[in-house]
């Protein structure tokens, strides 16, 4: 059962044989947003102007712009999350490794020193 799930996950769908839409982060959302943007832009243009060919061109431009916009927005957020994830992982690792030692960054300096003679 697990082997079948891994097999279906590894055989992603390649759009035009180029981009693996299933296994590439943000790709599926970008293409779907692009398709939606394309249909919306083309349809709106046609409703306003009744020009078929020009509406196809507008629809295509809408696809390109929406796909690119969605892709960059999603990838930027993805990259920020990955940076945060790495910082958290390093922080947890450093806390475990250095806790209780002299170089523990969370140790309060001077808190352990005994008071002077009265």
Partner 1 sequence: MAHPAQLGFQDATSPLMEELLHFHDHALMIVLLISVMVLYIITCLITTKMTDKHILDSQEIEIVWTVLPAITLILIALPSLRILYLMDEINDPHLTIKAMGHQWYWSYEYTDYEDLAFDSYMLPTQDLSPGQFRLLEADHRMVVPVESPIRVLISAEDVLHSWVVPTLGIKMDAVPGRLNQTAFITARPGVYYGQCSEICGANHSFMPIVVEAVPLNHFEAWTTLMLEEA
Min dist. Cβ of residue 68 to partner 1 (A): 7
Shortest spacing between CB 67 and partner 1, in angstroms: 6
Surface-to-core class of residue 97, CB atoms within 10 Å of its CB (0-12 exposed, 13-18 middle, 19+ buried)? exposed
Taking the least distance from each CB to partner 1, the nearer of 73 and 107 is 73
How many CB atoms lie under 10 A from the CB of residue 30? 23
CB nearer to partner 1: give 7 or 115.
7
CB of 48 to partner 1, least distance (A): 21
Chain positions contacting partner 1, by CB under 8 A = 10, 12, 14-16, 18-20, 23-27, 30, 57, 60, 63-64, 67-68, 71, 75, 79, 82, 86, 93
Angstrom distances, CA of residue 111 to CA of 4, 35, 55, 99: 58, 62, 73, 15
Task: Tell me 62's DSSP state.
Answer: H
To partner 1, the closest distance from the beta carbon of 4 in angstroms equals 14
Q: Which is nearer to partner 1, 65 or 107 (CB)?
A: 65
Beta strands of the chain (E only): which ranges? 14-15, 19-20
């Amino acid at each position: 059962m697990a082997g079948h799930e891994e097999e279906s996950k590894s055989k992603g769908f390649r759009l035009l044989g180029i981009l693996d839409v299933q296994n590439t982060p943000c790709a599926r959302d970008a293409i779907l947003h692009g398709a939606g943007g394309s249909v919306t832009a083309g349809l709106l243009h046609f409703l306003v102007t009744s020009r078929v060919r020009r509406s196809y061109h507008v629809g295509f431009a809408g696809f390109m712009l929406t796909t690119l916009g969605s892709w960059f927005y999603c990838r930027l957020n993805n990259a920020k999350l990955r940076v945060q994830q790495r910082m958290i992982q390093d922080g947890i690792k450093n806390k475990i490794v250095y806790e209780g030692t002299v170089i523990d960054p969370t140790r309060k300096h001077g808190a352990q020193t005994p008071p002077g003679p009265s």
